[in-house]
Structure 1
Amino acid sequence: MSRRAKPADDVGARVAEALDRGLPVRLDLPRRGRLHLDRPLPFLAVHVGRRAAPAARAAAMANAAYLLAGNLSDAAAVVREVGARMREQFGAFLVLDFGELSRDPLAKDTPFLAPFRISVSSSSDKAAERALSAFVGAVEKIDGRYRAPRIERSALSEDPHSGLARRLPDCSTLTVRVAPIYRVPQSRAVYPELQGWLVAHMLDAGLQAAAQFSRTETALSPATHRALGRRVFVEAVTRADRAMDDIAASFDFLLAVTPINADTAFEEFSAAGFERAPVFLYRPLAIDIAARKKALFSITLDRFEDPVLEKLFGEKQQELDLQLSMLSAREDGRFVEMSRALYGSVDARLEKAARDILDATALSGRAREPQMVDHRYVERRARAMIGGYSAQFSAFAPRVEVRDDLPAGLMVSSDRLLIASSTTMARERVEALLSHEVGVHLLTYCNGSGHGLRLFRTGLAGYEGAQEGLAVLAEHLAGGMTTARLRLIAARVVACAAMLDGASFVETFRLLSREQGFRPPAAFNIALRLHRGGGLAKDAIYLRGLLDILAHLRAGGDLEPFWLGKIAARHFAVMQELSQRGLLKAPRLVPQFMTARGAPERLARLRAGLTPLDLVS
């Protein structure tokens, strides 16, 4: 549809034309008005007026169907046209009129936060009254972390704010006016967090009213009120997504903080009797950090018209900022503290779990020397596994690169599997480790690419703990978890705690080699990973993530949402809502290890409640 301003009396024909063609409607109207319908729905959220009322305006615009109008006459004319069309399709139509009171009359300068006023009324029909009751019920459940709502219900004839409803006598209407509690008293400033909180709650309550109305008055029966939310991204979301992804793709954080001279550094360290820390060399940074930060915060999120997506992108913006700050502080004392902020500290519960594993497995393990394979074998098996996934979905085509500038092991960078040329490992571990890297990291990158937003493949903020926990779980489900591997994961936690407490590289190495019995090459590799960049706390998240995933399974949680993209367990509610709204597609691929021999039985035992030690018993 054209975005040029249209006279209100032309709206009906243009709405009909777009909906007949199955297109969303987005029309600019006179006096800075706008009509947005991402699909036919039996309700319309409306905000009238040009006076600054940003919370009410945003609450209306966050809906899948909304109208902004400069005055009551324009609003009523458009509502009649849209309402006629929607009644033809649904048999009923509801108007949600959002606005703000001119001031916050209950605010006082007291030690306690006063309640805030919400004025509501409805048309006299039973359908609107039931919808209003649903709205009030939702508002009354609002968490009063800031201020609790105080509902004032009026008859439509007594409500001074119900001008639109009185112009629509044949329409079911709800009139809502909320106190501007987000405004700083005696100032033109606002509390942004409080404004966002208010918008989110008004949106949710409005959707609950619309869902109640839909279930009782139409054939539409949404499973949840969230199913009535937006299904179409506005252009501002797409632009921000591309811009943020471009910034994320302009640097590889882990590669930038990983030494390129691991082999020679070990030789240097060994020649010094393991008593003098080696000198690590890093890749030169290929980006101007100040310029990247400027570009990052030039990405505006305030035109998303979707509080959920605005929050997700805001969190990612902050995470990218922290990563860029860490790169600017590489090999500086500030790096480790920012690393603690990014990945978290090692709390007492996590350290105890790690030490329990190390203590219980201290006498195990060196009875049999496994058959070892080099990077060539790993590369062949990696290509074979990738080929299996590609046969299911041809767009799954990650690159495999053998690198001379990495410590021994494997690493995933976006859609690339990087294998160090110095890699050697037990043959029995190869399929498990590839299930970790290919079956989780690369698979979720691919699945996350299928939702129309790159954010889900780049990763929501804080996704790494869940990803690494899932990846370790994948090793178990693939039948390749070993005592040595579990000890390694636990040792990383104990050594990370020591590093964060100030242990030097040499002290960390001694902890691993003398106290925990790791051979010098293994102890060196763990210490390198922990001290790279100046102190990286990432390696504690493997065991932490595994414990969280085990707790999730024990509580009856599913793994399926994790395959949608790179997400954390705390995003489950958000992902569920986005799925209900139709914004997310089903995963293109499901991990092969989920159906490996013995995997269903292993998963069933995990749901019954196992500890990490049980994975190798």
Structure 2
Amino acid sequence: MTQPQTYLEALKHCSDAMISAQKPILILDAIKWPQQTEVEFFADGAKRLPAISREDYARMNPLGFDPDDKRRELESIAHTITQRLGADDPLGRILLQTLNQYQTVVSMLENRGTPAFQAASQTLYGSTRDALRGDTLSLIDLGKRLCEIFSLPAAQHLNASHPKNIEAGAAVDILRQRLQPYFVDSAFTVKETDGIVSDASAGGDCIKVNTHAAFSKLDLQVLEVHEGWVHVGTTLNGRNQPWATWLSAGSPRITALQEGLAVLIETLTFSSFPGRARRISDRVVAIDMAEAGADFMEVYRHFINQGLGQRESYKIAQRVFRGGDVAGGACFTKDLSYVRGLVETVNFIRSAILADRPELLPWLFAGKVALDDIPTLYHYHKEQIIAPPRYLPPMFRDLNGLYVWFGFSSGFAAIDLKNIQAHFQSLFRQHPS
């Protein structure tokens, strides 16, 4: 049954209000470290904690909003949603859940550099001791196992064959040439910047490439599908929504699906590599250490002792302690989203196939969505409220290969791998590597 025009107008009004309210809440900008901090850390022999304090965050990265005013604004929008859409409206509930998370984000950012920052981060992104959805395995147990797999000698050998010999300017040109045809009829672009911590990141309809970074050919393949197909693609699909305009804006509740889907696409396109996969699992271990009270230097030295380079070890520790306290007691847990999101997204796809609902799978790309939103969004698509995703990776445009891949995966899950591995290990021992 098609919803009346008054409902559609109310939905768009509430969506637009939330988008406007969240615009100045820039989490990564509020907790980023200047490039000079890394320069000074190594100039000092990598022997002292980086000079980042609670006061530094307030001075370097002032919030673009007043926390109390922002809380009142978010509460007012929530009241409007309840009045105009109803407390039991399924799309209204998604909006209310998102607004509630923004309230927690406001608290997190006004407590940068304190234990309250970590507590809010754990509320938003979870803890390493959390169990995976529908399972008893914890994130840290899975993270440690993945670290072992991606640290094997063979993995290190494979990594060495892909040198980082492409400078930022050339990387921008390559990514632009590859992705502009994918995002035809959009405002998509790629540009250099020195204002990000990572080597590259997606923001709206743009991929930003760190001026100070160098890339391998495989790195660029990862960026093409991870930042481009997933992060930019879902943003642009969200912007194409006529009524549910909030689907163009990300919030912490959608981070696990965004990052998990991006890692999955890396894997399905054979773009990833062991070093990349290890960085993702290393971050789980780093967060676990920081949650247990380790300081920046302890995390940094742990990865040095694990055989990682100085710069790479610094980047891992930096990602974990940005916004927190380098002396210990407060960290940022967002990077758990990669491993958690990958497992949960794979399980969603397998479950949709086993339930004979493969038509739900393209809706992973409908915008900035959480897994639990997808059946609701599909239902409202049938009522002509939610538009289908325009920019879709090829394996989600034609589901045949994806269905077969994950159909086999679901069938193989019943096999006892321990017995199989024991059989082949006896063969491997006859011809050691």
- Output the amino acid matched with 1:605: W
Percent identical residues: 24
Larger Rg: 1
Which of 375, 385, 390 pairs up with 1:573?
Answer: 375
- Output the amino acid matched with 2:163: Q
Q: Distance in 2 between matches of 1:298 and 1:408?
A: 36
Tell me, yes or no, if the aligned pair for 1:450 and 1:585 is still in contact at 8 Å: yes
Q: Distance in 2 between matches of 1:239 and 1:453?
A: 9
- 1:538 counterpart residue number: 334
Which of 485, 488, 507 pairs up with 2:279?
Answer: 488
Judged with a 3 Å threshold, the aligned counterparts in structure 2 of structure 1 residues 536 and 600 are, in CA distance, closer, same or farther, namely farther
| TM-align CA RMSD | 2.4
- 1:428 counterpart residue number: 218
Tell me, yes or no, if the aligned pair for 2:244 and 2:385 is still in contact at 8 Å: no
Unaligned runs of 5+ in 1: 1-227, 612-617
Does residue 365 (structure 1) correspond to residue 155 (structure 2)? The answer is yes
- 2:349 counterpart residue number: 553
- Output the amino acid matched with 2:253: G
Deviations 1:260-319 (CA, angstroms, capped at 9, x unpaired): x23x32232223333311124642322222222222222222222351122111111111
Aligned length: 376
Judged with a 3 Å threshold, the aligned counterparts in structure 2 of structure 1 residues 594 and 241 are, in CA distance, closer, same or farther, namely closer
Which of 272, 286, 290 pairs up with 2:64?
Answer: 286
Q: Distance in 1 between matches of 2:375 and 2:260?
A: 19
Judged with a 3 Å threshold, the aligned counterparts in structure 2 of structure 1 residues 509 and 600 are, in CA distance, closer, same or farther, namely farther
Tell me, yes or no, if the aligned pair for 2:94 and 2:373 is still in contact at 8 Å: no
- 1:354 counterpart residue number: 143
Does residue 271 (structure 1) correspond to residue 43 (structure 2)? The answer is yes
Q: Distance in 1 between matches of 2:221 and 2:279?
A: 18
Tell me, yes or no, if the aligned pair for 2:168 and 2:211 is still in contact at 8 Å: yes
Q: Distance in 2 between matches of 1:252 and 1:413?
A: 11
Measure how far apart 1:336 and its partner are: 1.0
- 2:408 counterpart residue number: 608
SS of residue matched to 1:389? coil
Q: Distance in 1 between matches of 2:125 and 2:220?
A: 27
- Output the amino acid matched with 1:456: L
Which of 315, 324, 339 pairs up with 2:121?
Answer: 339
- Output the amino acid matched with 1:370: H
Measure how far apart 1:603 and its partner are: 7.1
TM value normalised by structure 2: 0.80
Tell me, yes or no, if the aligned pair for 1:477 and 1:594 is still in contact at 8 Å: no
Judged with a 3 Å threshold, the aligned counterparts in structure 2 of structure 1 residues 383 and 593 are, in CA distance, closer, same or farther, namely farther
Tell me, yes or no, if the aligned pair for 1:432 and 1:478 is still in contact at 8 Å: no
**Counterparts in 2 of 1:45-56, with a 5 A limit?**
none
Judged with a 3 Å threshold, the aligned counterparts in structure 2 of structure 1 residues 425 and 485 are, in CA distance, closer, same or farther, namely same
Q: Distance in 2 between matches of 1:361 and 1:453?
A: 41
Which has the larger share of helix? 2
- Output the amino acid matched with 2:172: E
Q: Distance in 1 between matches of 2:202 and 2:15?
A: 22
TM value normalised by structure 1: 0.57
Q: Distance in 2 between matches of 1:339 and 1:329?
A: 11
**Counterparts in 2 of 1:61-76, with a 5 A limit?**
none
**Counterparts in 2 of 1:246-395, with a 5 A limit?**
246-259=20-33, 261-262=34-35, 264-280=36-52, 282-299=60-77, 300-306=80-86, 307-347=89-129, 349-362=138-151, 363-367=153-157, 368-372=160-164, 373-391=166-184, 394=185
Measure how far apart 1:602 and its partner are: 7.5
Judged with a 3 Å threshold, the aligned counterparts in structure 2 of structure 1 residues 483 and 494 are, in CA distance, closer, same or farther, namely same
Tell me, yes or no, if the aligned pair for 2:225 and 2:266 is still in contact at 8 Å: yes
Tell me, yes or no, if the aligned pair for 2:91 and 2:376 is still in contact at 8 Å: no
Deviations 1:214-248 (CA, angstroms, capped at 9, x unpaired): xxxxxxxxxxxxxx362643543332222211111
Judged with a 3 Å threshold, the aligned counterparts in structure 2 of structure 1 residues 318 and 420 are, in CA distance, closer, same or farther, namely same
Measure how far apart 1:556 and its partner are: 4.0
